[in-house]
Amino acid sequence: MKQTRLVITSMGAVTPIGIGVREFWDNLIAGKCGVAPITRFDASDMEVRIAAEVTMYDPAKYLPKNLIRESDPFMQYAYIAALEALGDGALPAESGRTGIVMGTSMSGISTIAATQEQLTCLTKKRVGARFIPKVLGNVAAAKIAIAKGIQGPSLTVSTACSSGGDALATAAMLLLAGEADAVVTVGSESILCPLVVHSLTNTRALSHRNDEPQKASRPFDAGRDGFVIGEGGGALVLETEEHARRRGAQILAELLGWANNSDAYHVTEPRADGRIAAVCMEKALERAGITADQVDYINAHGTGTKAGDIAETAAIRQVFGEHPPLVSSTKGATGHMMGAGGVTEAMICILAMQHGILPPTLNLDIPDPACDLDYIAKQARRQETSICMSNAFGFGGQNSSIILKKYIP
């Protein structure tokens, strides 16, 4: 029986360091950092006052007025990224054979928080009729489907910070099950509001380097003190190879393997030994039909938390032994984009293979002794790669691992 190959044919990105795939990649490789003081709301009296916002963003440049009014920022980022990915590719959407899978961790939390604050403070209690569709996670996919006539399967995945990676896995399963020929896979997040920042501050998850925002996100560095909230969106069009070639699409990479599992350990802390995350990576390798020594590069989850970076390093050591591949975390540049990260970081792997350049781990001055891999510190490195892995781990013990390969017909 002929094996069905799955391929990525186009991409779109909205990030704190660039809108559009080209700008995102160029700034990432140049070492640009998107972390700065929060501008979305007044954070002057808060313990944490920094984030990686999509600051160069003018919604009116990309979206019709009614969509701006009726959409939470996470929906807007998803919509713009998807439109870039779809471009003029003319997917046969109305056939019902094109689907969409959305990954998001907290959906419209910023709109929910702002609406509740207004409801509490205002004398005249009024909530807009569009409030519910403005905050629902699946409506992001619905708006894209409406704009492009996508009539196939539509699913929304919410597995905390692994949502984007799991959206890709879900899209792959739809294709292999014969439910679709192509799937627009989107990850998007915007959680910037006082409610979320206060909560994450109280869990001691966030960096407090308010006076040095550009140096705050420090994956694997001995001086790291937590992650930085990021936001944005990413989109990939995933298709069967047969379908992509039949319609003459440019093929960017092959999705070779994927896996998901659960630590079954703690709601917010990873297993210190990284054992179950290692199993996730091993399952992805098994599905891909390759051995560990064939992986050239890992885009790590690498958020910059004390426990998380150590656990991920331990997991990589368990899978790859004494000769692990090159590793970097791009969250030093983008912050932690939550549900968007799994998609944009898979995109980074594809771009790395295309350009023969691996992105750097910013702010890695002195590696934690427990984090002893080659993390491509500070500057991008020229290196040809053929197979890459992207990890995404989330609250609840969610683990996701994606394996991508340079496409060879």
* Distance from C-alpha of 369 to C-alpha of 379, rounded to nearest angstrom: 20
* Distance from C-alpha of 406 to C-alpha of 409, rounded to nearest angstrom: 10
Contact 81, 14 (CB under 8 A): yes
On the CB side of 354, CA atoms within 13 Å amount to: 17
* Distance from C-alpha of 60 to C-alpha of 264, rounded to nearest angstrom: 44
Residue 106: partners with Cβ closer than 8 Å, 6 or more residues away: 189, 191, 196, 338, 339
pLDDT class of 90 with cuts at 50, 70, 90: low
How many angstroms from the chain centroid is the CA of residue 23? 17
Burial class (CB in 10 A: 0-12, 13-18, 19+), 210: middle
How many angstroms from the chain centroid is the CA of residue 46? 27
Q: Would you say residue 115 has pLDDT above 70?
A: yes
- Helix 137-148 × helix 73-86 angle, to 10°: 40
Q: Do strands 357-358 and 253-262 pair parallel, antiparallel, or not at all (unpaired)?
A: unpaired
Q: Would you say residue 93 has pLDDT above 80?
A: no
- The predicted-structure confidence for 370-400, as pLDDT tens digits, reads as follows 999 999 999 999 999 999 999 999 999 999 9
Calculate Rg over the CA atoms of the chain: 20
Q: What is the mean pLDDT of the chain?
A: 95
Domains and CATH numbers, the chain: 6-246 (3.40.47.10), 260-405 (3.40.47.10)
Cβ count near 142 (within 10 Å): 17
266 catalytic? Reply is: no
The residue annotated as part of the active site, out of 33, 280, 336, 371, is 336
- The predicted-structure confidence for 241-291, as pLDDT tens digits, reads as follows 999 999 999 999 999 999 999 999 999 999 999 999 999 999 999 999 999
Cβ count near 348 (within 10 Å): 28
pLDDT of residue 49: 98
Burial class (CB in 10 A: 0-12, 13-18, 19+), 280: buried
Mean of pLDDT values over 352-380: 97
Query: In the structure encoding, which two tokens stand for residue 314, read together?
Result: 């331990």
Cβ count near 314 (within 10 Å): 19
- The predicted-structure confidence for 201-214, as pLDDT tens digits, reads as follows 999 999 999 999 99
pLDDT of residue 195: 95
Q: Would you say residue 168 has pLDDT above 80?
A: yes
Q: Would you say residue 161 has pLDDT above 60?
A: yes
Contact 360, 31 (CB under 8 A): yes
pLDDT class of 118 with cuts at 50, 70, 90: confident
* 3-class DSSP state of 315: helix
Of the two residues 68 and 1, the one the predictor is more confident about is 68
301 catalytic? Reply is: yes
Using CA of residue 153, residue 180, residue 164, residue 290, what is the dihedral sign?
positive
pLDDT of residue 95: 79
50: closest CA among 219, 234, 222, 227?
227
- The predicted-structure confidence for 43-87, as pLDDT tens digits, reads as follows 999 999 999 999 988 888 889 898 999 999 999 999 999 999 998
161 catalytic? Reply is: yes
Q: Would you say residue 337 has pLDDT above 60?
A: yes
The residue annotated as part of the active site, out of 301, 349, 371, 388, is 301
pLDDT of residue 58: 87
Contact 375, 367 (CB under 8 A): yes
pLDDT of residue 117: 86
* Distance from C-alpha of 319 to C-alpha of 317, rounded to nearest angstrom: 5
Q: Do strands 98-103 and 182-189 pair parallel, antiparallel, or not at all (unpaired)?
A: parallel
DSSP H/E element including 184? strand 182-189
Q: Would you say residue 119 has pLDDT above 90?
A: no
Percent of the chain with pLDDT over 90: 89
Percent of the chain with pLDDT over 70: 98
* Distance from C-alpha of 225 to C-alpha of 213, rounded to nearest angstrom: 12
